[in-house]
Amino acid sequence: MNAAPGGFRVGLLGHGTVGSAFAHLLPAQAGRIELITGLRPAISGVLTRSSGSFEEILEVSDLIVELIGGIEPAREYVLSAMRAGRHVVTANKQLLSQHGEELWQTARANGVQLRFEGAVAGVVPVIRVVQESLSGATIDRVHGIVNGTTNFILTEMARTGMTFAEALAEAQRLGYAEADPSDDVGGRDAAAKMAILARLAFDTPVHLDQVRYEGIEQIQPDDLEYARELGLGLKLIGTAERIDGGLSVRVHPAFLYPGHPLASVNGPFNAVTVESPEITEITMSGPGAGGPQTASAVLGDVVSAMIPPASTPPTMRVLEIVHDVVSAFYLHLEVADRPGVLAGVAQVLAEHEVSVKSVVQKGLGEQARLVMVVHPVLESRFAGAMAQIARLDVLRAPPRAIRVLEEEFG
Amino acid sequence: MNAAPGGFRVGLLGHGTVGSAFAHLLPAQAGRIELITGLRPAISGVLTRSSGSFEEILEVSDLIVELIGGIEPAREYVLSAMRAGRHVVTANKQLLSQHGEELWQTARANGVQLRFEGAVAGVVPVIRVVQESLSGATIDRVHGIVNGTTNFILTEMARTGMTFAEALAEAQRLGYAEADPSDDVGGRDAAAKMAILARLAFDTPVHLDQVRYEGIEQIQPDDLEYARELGLGLKLIGTAERIDGGLSVRVHPAFLYPGHPLASVNGPFNAVTVESPEITEITMSGPGAGGPQTASAVLGDVVSAMIPPASTPPTMRVLEIVHDVVSAFYLHLEVADRPGVLAGVAQVLAEHEVSVKSVVQKGLGEQARLVMVVHPVLESRFAGAMAQIARLDVLRAPPRAIRVLEEEFG
């Protein structure tokens, strides 16, 4: 199972949702990673519940990826791997929030990297940003929505008026909540992640037991209803902040005013806002969990451990630069206010196979304004229709067009 | 001007807005950086328009920070520094978008790092995330609001109904637009940033001249007014995306539906969304410009160049964990619907120095619901008030309280 010479051997511990996604992703990206790093990564061994030997895998690996979860035997494996001089990448928030100091000390003592982007907020790159991008800033506060299960449940309760129990059942049906959701809905999962973030942001040891947390089981539908009347949205918020020379780390439900950067984070998404006098604030958001997403964060860590930080790699191909693309458009016309104008414009659009999505028409005495949004169309085709419309004798001003990004989100 | 032995010598080229902020920030953070890296950084020389010699500064520097801007002499200095084996950190988007391949090739050939987080979206860490976090993902599309001047202008036009010219004047008055704003409002500044992002996201050479761009000078107040009726918001959007095996890189105004992750990015903020099948999408946002913000991004790059990528540093202090913090609260009471109830509750709150911000009261036959938001107060004090309210004989159910994040944003 050894990688070829010139390869980079990755030993994988754990083959659950994230582990199997990682085992699928690494070979798919191996060619690109070889171009970036000069080394082709390959899985050198997989430890599952029923097969494989940790010692044998360690022997044939340059780096160990730990995706078993929980404390033991994950802790023992990670410590052994680092003592044997191997880099380690893990997504294990329980382990880091309870035994982080021991692990980080072992990494430093053995001159190896311990990376753990996947442990907090899935693919949202908060660990790297706090540790590296903001290494020259003084962080005052971190606010995070770091549990996708609870954010999905609160979003559904707000959207539909469901009870907590109904929204939890819906989350379980869609795979956003586990069969035993107590760590998620009780706030303990978010507390572990905030302990890790607080450690990095404030250079001070923070153990999970020092994080005060509440969950969302007590939230009632009418809390959300009244909150809407007051202009507020409800999230499970993790906070780590300096207070008078001390540090508060806590997780609890909290209402947000609509302008807050976390207020528009809905569904199973995660987001983290970092505040610092040097930078004002940065917000990062994205999917907070899911096998492929977390596996992607783990693979980013593996690549970083393979090489010193990026010198930009050589160009790997020369893509053709495309100029004619598909866009939806907003179209603004000032026209004579008389019968048949809309029909005339619509006919030109139809001739160019431009399809109308919505129209607003307003009369203004002698003239009218016609504002339309058209469905996505090749820009050259739309330009042809615009040129012909500009020549219509009912036009009172040059037509104006602005693109519309068509995708619906959230 | 040499740094002490054991120090890390940073030569600074340029002393404008960002350069002087950097010269202020580096000494302020030198102690913390020494704890992280083991080396104390110091400015070894500063080249300004009127003083300093590039060759003399290069001689006494381990790393060169280029904040002159423009093409020459910045290009010659950056190339010379790398050929002399020095790492380089720059925030120069013009240079990278027009001479990037030459610079990156020189960095690789000389085994030095060329870092440039500050060149795109200020402190928003898009460069690091695309190059490092997402090195194991296939990127399909990047959408960005990468020019704060235009985003401020469009936000003001939408908010107040101002014309473009009026909003531009306001931006100039507040320092969000330069005396000659043509690169910003015409889209060329955003185009340079999108060329750099596209190069990194798609591993293909992209020159500024290959980016098609439009600006916002033609936007009329009634475009924004009608868009609001159609439920759309307007942004200057940079796009880089794969299309049929080719690549489109473009900048133009575009309307966004409200659920789009960039729709809520207002004022001088920047934001970038990266889409990939492995990760769905990540969005990052923050201040897009400003001396201290860009200087912070530059300093993060300097620290990264000083050390191999982070092993988590030892804890540097042990902060006290604080448990009693200040929060605003939402308070939900089910009470008997009779005179004097609100007064009774209000009196308890007043006794505990809890101040009411807003109240909603609704009668429901025999009983009523009283929903309040109170101003920030020490949690222990609020808990005391809650305990006393819970004992009031008008209460029909246990009181419920949820925290409110009080800050107003945007």
Instruction: Sort A361 into a burial class: Cβ within 10 Å, 0-12 / 13-18 / 19+.
Output: middle
Among chain A residues, the shortest Cα distance to B280 is held by: A287
pLDDT at A314 over 70: no
State residue B312's pLDDT score.
66
Q: Which domains does chain A have, with CATH numbers?
A: 7-119 (3.40.50.720), 126-288 (3.30.360.10), 326-404 (3.30.70.260)
Are A230 and B360 in contact (CB < 8 Å)? yes
CB B59 within 8 A of CB B86: no
**Percentage of residues in chain B having pLDDT higher than 70:** 95
Q: Look over chain A and give the mean of its residue pLDDT values, rounded to a whole number.
A: 90
Summarised one tens digit per residue, pLDDT across range A155-202 is 999 999 999 999 999 999 998 888 899 999 999 999 999 999 999 999
State residue A1's pLDDT score.
36
Among chain A residues, the shortest Cα distance to B26 is held by: A136
State residue B410's pLDDT score.
39
**B402 CB neighbour count, 10 Å cutoff:** 24
Q: What is the bridge-based pairing of β-strands B141-145 and B114-115?
A: unpaired
**Percentage of residues in chain A having pLDDT higher than 70:** 95
For residues A69 and A134, give the distance between their C-alpha atoms in angstroms, rounded to a whole number: 28
pLDDT at A343 over 80: yes
Are B247 and A321 in contact (CB < 8 Å)? yes
State residue A122's pLDDT score.
84
Question: Which of B220, B241, B296, B408 best tests the A interface by mutation, with the highest count of A CBs <10 A?
Answer: B296
For residues B154 and B168, give the distance between their C-alpha atoms in angstroms, rounded to a whole number: 9
State residue A315's pLDDT score.
67
State residue A311's pLDDT score.
59
Model confidence band, residue B405 (pLDDT cutoffs 50, 70, 90): confident
Among chain A residues, the shortest Cα distance to B248 is held by: A322
Question: Which of A316, A402, A404, A408 best tests the B interface by mutation, with the highest count of B CBs <10 A?
Answer: A402
pLDDT at A373 over 50: yes
More confident residue, B299 or B229: B299
Among chain B residues, the shortest Cα distance to A129 is held by: B125
How far apart are the CA of B41 and the nearest CA of chain A, in angstroms?
11
pTM to 2 decimal places: 0.88
Are B319 and A248 in contact (CB < 8 Å)? no
- By Cβ distance, the residue of A128, A247, A261 closest to B319 is A247
The arithmetic mean of pLDDT across residues B119-144, rounded, is 89
Helix axes B74-83, B93-110, angle to 10 degrees: 10
Are B287 and A279 in contact (CB < 8 Å)? yes
CB B327 within 8 A of CB B377: yes
State residue A26's pLDDT score.
96
Give the Cα-Cα-Cα angle A169, A260, A285 (nearest 5 degrees).
Answer: 60
For residues A399 and A197, give the distance between their C-alpha atoms in angstroms, rounded to a whole number: 52
Q: Tell me, what DSSP letter sits at residue A394?
A: T
Marked catalytic residue, from A193, A235, A357, A362: A193
Helical ranges in B136-290 per DSSP H: 148-160, 164-173, 182-185, 188-202, 221-229
The arithmetic mean of pLDDT across residues B382-405, rounded, is 91
- Is the interface score ipTM higher than 0.90? no
The arithmetic mean of pLDDT across residues A82-108, rounded, is 95
How far apart are the CA of B369 and the nearest CA of chain A, in angstroms?
10
pLDDT at A3 over 60: no
Are A230 and B259 in contact (CB < 8 Å)? no
H/E run at residue B331: strand B326-336
Query: Taking CB atoms and an 8 Å cutoff, what residues of chain B touch A206?
Result: 321
For residues A317 and A294, give the distance between their C-alpha atoms in angstroms, rounded to a whole number: 28
For residues A287 and A289, give the distance between their C-alpha atoms in angstroms, rounded to a whole number: 6
How far apart are the CA of A207 and the nearest CA of chain B, in angstroms?
10
**Percentage of residues in chain B having pLDDT higher than 90:** 62
- By Cβ distance, the residue of B117, B202, B315 closest to A204 is B315
The arithmetic mean of pLDDT across residues B233-240, rounded, is 93
How far apart are the CA of B185 and the nearest CA of chain A, in angstroms?
16
State residue A337's pLDDT score.
85
Query: Taking CB atoms and an 8 Å cutoff, what residues of chain A touch B383?
Result: none
pLDDT at B3 over 50: no
How far apart are the CA of A7 and the nearest CA of chain B, in angstroms?
16
State residue B251's pLDDT score.
95
State residue A2's pLDDT score.
40
State residue A143's pLDDT score.
95
Are A261 and B234 in contact (CB < 8 Å)? no
Summarised one tens digit per residue, pLDDT across range A101-151 is 999 999 989 989 999 999 998 889 999 899 888 888 899 999 999 999 999
- By Cβ distance, the residue of B113, B205, B299 closest to A315 is B205
State residue A313's pLDDT score.
65
More confident residue, A360 or B46: B46
Q: Which residues contact A297 (CB under 8 A, 6 or more apart)?
A: A91, A117, A118, A122, A123, A125, B133
How far apart are the CA of B137 and the nearest CA of chain A, in angstroms?
6
pLDDT at A238 over 60: yes
Query: Taking CB atoms and an 8 Å cutoff, what residues of chain B touch A219?
Result: 402
Are B279 and A295 in contact (CB < 8 Å)? no
State residue B2's pLDDT score.
40
**Which residue in A41, A39, A37, A19 sits closest to A28, CA to CA?**
A41
**Which residue in B167, B124, B309, B246 sits closest to A285, CA to CA?**
B124
Task: For tokens 């990037």, name the residue.
Answer: B100
Marked catalytic residue, from B193, B235, B357, B362: B193
The arithmetic mean of pLDDT across residues B228-256, rounded, is 89
The arithmetic mean of pLDDT across residues A341-361, rounded, is 91
Question: Which of B321, B323, B360 best tests the A interface by mutation, with the highest count of A CBs <10 A?
Answer: B321
Are A133 and B143 in contact (CB < 8 Å)? no
Helix axes A341-351, A379-390, angle to 10 degrees: 140
pLDDT at A42 over 70: yes
H/E run at residue A380: helix A379-390
Are A320 and B253 in contact (CB < 8 Å)? no
Are B332 and A223 in contact (CB < 8 Å)? yes
Query: For residue A341, what are its two tokens?
Result: 């104008």
Is residue A235 flagged as an active site residue? no
Model confidence band, residue B5 (pLDDT cutoffs 50, 70, 90): low
For residues A378 and B110, give the distance between their C-alpha atoms in angstroms, rounded to a whole number: 45
CB A310 within 8 A of CB A33: no
Task: For tokens 């507040």, name the residue.
Answer: B174
CB B234 within 8 A of CB B181: no
Among chain A residues, the shortest Cα distance to B251 is held by: A403
State residue B257's pLDDT score.
84
Scored b (16 or more CB within 10 A) or e, A145-170 reads bbbbbbbbbbbbbbeeebebeebbeb
Query: Taking CB atoms and an 8 Å cutoff, what residues of chain A touch B117?
Result: 133
Model confidence band, residue B408 (pLDDT cutoffs 50, 70, 90): very low
Q: Which residues contact B266 (CB under 8 A, 6 or more apart)?
A: B151, B155, B410
Are B287 and A295 in contact (CB < 8 Å)? no
**Percentage of residues in chain A having pLDDT higher than 90:** 62
String of DSSP letters for B105-118:
HHHHHHT--EE-GG
Give the Cα-Cα-Cα angle B315, B318, B322 (nearest 5 degrees).
Answer: 130
- By Cβ distance, the residue of B229, B257, B276 closest to A408 is B257
Are B132 and A310 in contact (CB < 8 Å)? yes
Q: Tell me, what DSSP letter sits at residue B69?
A: -
State residue B1's pLDDT score.
37
CB B235 within 8 A of CB A346: no
Are B219 and A402 in contact (CB < 8 Å)? yes
pLDDT at B13 over 80: yes
The arithmetic mean of pLDDT across residues B289-316, rounded, is 79
Query: For residue B143, what are its two tokens?
Result: 């959408």
CB A101 within 8 A of CB A200: no
CB A275 within 8 A of CB A281: yes
State residue A408's pLDDT score.
47
How far apart are the CA of B226 and the nearest CA of chain A, in angstroms?
7
pLDDT at B63 over 70: yes
Query: Taking CB atoms and an 8 Å cutoff, what residues of chain B touch A109?
Result: none
More confident residue, B120 or B290: B120
**A183 CB neighbour count, 10 Å cutoff:** 17
The arithmetic mean of pLDDT across residues B381-391, rounded, is 95
**Interface size, chain A vs chain B, as Cβ–Cβ contacts under 8 Å:** 394
State residue A288's pLDDT score.
81
Radius of gyration of chain A (CA): 27
Q: Tell me, what DSSP letter sits at residue A208?
A: G
The arithmetic mean of pLDDT across residues A82-87, rounded, is 96
For residues A168 and A175, give the distance between their C-alpha atoms in angstroms, rounded to a whole number: 10
Q: What is the bridge-based pairing of β-strands A326-336 and A400-405?
A: antiparallel
CB A309 within 8 A of CB B113: yes
